[in-house]
């Protein structure tokens, strides 16, 4: 709980950086999923590959979100990355619930949440150590 109090001490610019990272993650996700849809429609790409493509896309997206959210942070990059990954996953789950018409708890949704938080944390660790000096 002490670590979460730290997030409130950062300037408004850091919160904006967090939002920019999440928006970039969704841009990556949208681009990859549109490319996948085109690939399924016009090539021999099978729909059975879709869960793997979605998982890889989400992981890469939250890495970018975590990286971008923590790049300008003074410290605790992994926390900023995990926050970015968690927000990404929660928004994505809300979209899935809205599109599907209801919530059904399953292992795939839990894995998405865990993967997003961990991937964001890893991206945050990379971003905090990738500052321009």
Specify if 22 maps to a domain.
Answer: yes
30: confidence class by pLDDT, cuts 50, 70, 90: very high
Q: Is the pLDDT of residue 56 over 70?
A: yes
Specify if 73 maps to a domain.
Answer: yes
CB 66 within 8 A of CB 127: yes
Specify if 91 maps to a domain.
Answer: yes
Specify if 3 maps to a domain.
Answer: no
Specify if 2 maps to a domain.
Answer: no
Total domains in the chain come to 1
Question: How far apart are alpha carbons 36 and 23 in whole angstroms?
Answer: 20
Q: Is the pLDDT of residue 67 over 90?
A: yes
- Name every residue whose Cβ is closer than 8 Å to that of residue 122 and which is 6 or more positions away in sequence: 63, 66, 78, 81
- Average pLDDT value for residue range 8-13: 66
Q: Is the pLDDT of residue 50 over 60?
A: yes
Specify if 16 maps to a domain.
Answer: yes
* pTM of the predicted structure, to 2 decimals: 0.82
Specify if 4 maps to a domain.
Answer: no
Specify if 44 maps to a domain.
Answer: yes
63: confidence class by pLDDT, cuts 50, 70, 90: very high
Residue 65: which domain range? Answer: 12-128
97: confidence class by pLDDT, cuts 50, 70, 90: confident
Task: Compute CA distances 5 → 60, 89, 93, 95, whole Å.
Answer: 28, 22, 26, 29
Decide which of 8 and 22 is more confident: 22
């Amino acid at each position: 709980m002490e670590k979460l109090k730290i997030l409130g001490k950062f300037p408004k610019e850091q919160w904006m950086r967090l939002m920019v990272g999440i928006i970039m993650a969704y841009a990556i996700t949208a681009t990859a999923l549109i490319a996948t849809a085109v690939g399924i429609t016009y090539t021999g790409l099978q729909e059975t590959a879709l869960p793997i493509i979605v998982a890889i896309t989400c992981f890469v997206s939250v890495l970018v979100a975590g990286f971008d959210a923590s790049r300008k942070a003074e410290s605790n990059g992994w926390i900023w990355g995990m926050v970015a990954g968690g927000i990404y996953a929660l928004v994505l789950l809300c979209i899935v619930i809205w599109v599907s018409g209801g919530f059904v708890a399953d292992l795939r949704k839990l894995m998405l949440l865990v993967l997003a938080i961990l991937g964001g944390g890893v991206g945050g660790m990379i971003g905090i150590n990738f500052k321009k000096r």
